[in-house]
Chain A
Amino acid sequence: MILSHFMALLVFALFVSTVFALITKNEPREQFRYGVFVFLSFLAVAFVVGWIMYPLPL
């Protein structure tokens, strides 16, 4: 099985944000909001770090 970088990131973020939301919050509404926040944070950080690394000769 080969996932693209972005799909691997999406699936990873989905699972981890789900577990984090259920562990850290108690109310379903809070869990949903926090889960979405963590999920989007994963994506945002990946994009930002990707663009920061872009000009570097790595």
Chain B
Amino acid sequence: MEQANSHVQSTATSEKKNMAATIGICAGGWLVPGLAHILIGRWIRGVIFAACVLLMFVLGLAMHGKLYDLEFDEPLHVFAFIANIGTGLPYWIAEKLNLGIGTMTWPSYDYGTTYLWVCGLLNYLIVLDAFDIAQGRKP
């Protein structure tokens, strides 16, 4: 019975990775949404996460939302910046392409900005989920 239980437990929990590999996986997942789950073999979850985060990001930009930079004269903007950089590489690419300037007079500006914040924050949660799986804390 005990042997059967331990067998079930070992199949339910994934193999624990060392901390360096876990941090590398999480960094990859932060830069490219969904990549962390793909790297640890949960590719279906990874693809769904990538689709959710990237579609929210694209919709946020399409709705003329604003991407925040680190501005020292506006200290409260740092929270928006932290939320925005959660998206990883897409944030830097959009900044380079001069997207995400934000048109305050556009009717969906507020929605777009909120989409851009939330997709970054969701990616932080996704990376933490990948961390737990890689450390064997979660099946």
Contacts and interface: CB of A to CB of B under 8 A. Distances in A.
Interface residues of A, number: 13
A12 B115 CA distance: 7
A3 interface: yes
Q: Chain B interface secondary structure, helix, strand, loop or mixed?
A: helix
A1 B64 CA distance: 8
Contacts, number: 46
A16 B122 CA distance: 8
Interface in B113-133: 114-115, 118-119, 122, 125-126, 129
Nearest to A18: B52
B108 A3 contact: yes
A23 B129 contact: yes
Interface centre among B62, B111, B114, B119 (most CB of A within 10 A): B111
Interface residues of B, number: 25
Given A3-B108, A15-B55, A16-B118, 15 more contacts: A2-B106, A2-B107, A2-B108, A3-B59, A3-B63, A12-B111, A12-B118, A15-B56, A15-B119, A18-B48, A18-B52, A19-B52, A19-B126, A23-B125, A23-B129
15 contacts: A1-B64, A1-B108, A2-B108, A3-B59, A3-B108, A3-B111, A8-B108, A11-B59, A12-B118, A15-B52, A15-B119, A16-B118, A18-B52, A22-B48, A22-B49
